[in-house]
Amino acid sequence: MRTRRGLFVAPFDALADPRVVADLAARAEGAGWDGFFLWDHLQYGDRVDAIADVWTCCAAVAMQTERLLFGPMVTPLPRRRPQVLARQAASLAVLSAGRFVLGLGLGDDWVGEFSSFGDEADPKVRGRMLDEGLETLTALLSGNPVDREGTHYVARNARFRPAPAVPIWLAGRFGNRAPLRRAARYDGFFVIGLETPDDLEEVTAAVADHDPAPGFEIVLDLRPDQDPGPWLDRGASWVLTRIGPFDIDLADVRRIIDAGPGD
């Protein structure tokens, strides 16, 4: 199976408009890209002034494309109510005829994105919240009844009608074993911070040790100036080209997209 190519787009500043994002996604589909994945942030430091809401952007992308896989990459589940997120994911899966992918992770408080709004800043606590939220979220998406009370989430006699399947990819930084173990229980691992293709081979070997389900995805992202060639035969199923986060020029973004993913 060939390695699929996608875009990893920060909807910041020049791209902080769902109409622009949707137009770029349609352009990407026409140029032969396979996926279009969006960052999900509330703030991103002093160099970013405007940020578009990822869910509004995803709905716009769904309406302007027919083939692309798309979704948030990644949504910090610990700052969201899993039952609300399940409804959003199910609706986008229906809207896109099953092309929606749900990327999830802990999130990062490096610019106070959690602590500034009173959300949980301790990553260990967020890890527990992520695991509890995943249980509720996946049960609801599958249509199974949910009746559980955890430390952070309570669901009693809750049940949703099953939606089209929503693949769940979990994110984690290279070298951290806990995110990899968590991801292996779901549908994919978006590994952040790889330096060399040899690092990727280490990841694929570690994932295999956890016996993931068939079709498990290993996903990485590269800068636009990085040659994807050396990464394409090392076990990754997706190699994404990163757009942003800083000093985004719309004309440059269009040139990157129009050049296509290559062979």
State pLDDT tens for residues 231-260.
988 899 999 999 999 999 999 999 999 999
* Local structure of 75: helix, strand or coil: strand
What is the per-residue pLDDT across 77-93, written as a single tens digit (0 to 9) for each?
999 999 999 999 999 99
Averaged pLDDT, 131-155: 89
Render pLDDT for 6-30 as a digit per residue (tens, 0 to 9): 999 999 999 999 999 999 999 999 9
pLDDT of residue 263: 63
Asked if residues 3 and 236 have their Cβ atoms less than 8 Å apart, the reply is yes
pTM, entire model: 0.96
Tell me the pLDDT band of 198, cut-offs 50, 70 and 90.
very high
Residue 193 is given by DSSP the state -
pLDDT beyond 90 at 155: no
> Sorting pLDDT into bands at 50, 70 and 90, what band is 1?
low
77 Cβ partners below 8 Å, 6+ apart? 85, 104, 105, 129, 130, 133, 134, 137
Sheet holding 238-243, edge to edge: 69-72, 35-38, 4-9, 238-243, 217-222, 188-192, 168-173, 102-105, 75-76
Q: Can you tell me the distance from the alpha carbon of 1 to that of 103, in angstroms, rounded to the nearest whole number?
A: 22
DSSP conformational letter for 164: S
Paired residues of 240 in beta bridges? 6, 221
CATH superfamily of 4-258: Luciferase-like domain (3.20.20.30)
Per-residue pLDDT tens over the stretch 160-184: 888 889 999 999 999 999 999 999 9
The one-letter amino acid at 165:
A
DSSP state of 3: P
CB 189 within 8 A of CB 203: yes
> What is the reported pLDDT for 105?
97
Average pLDDT, the chain: 95
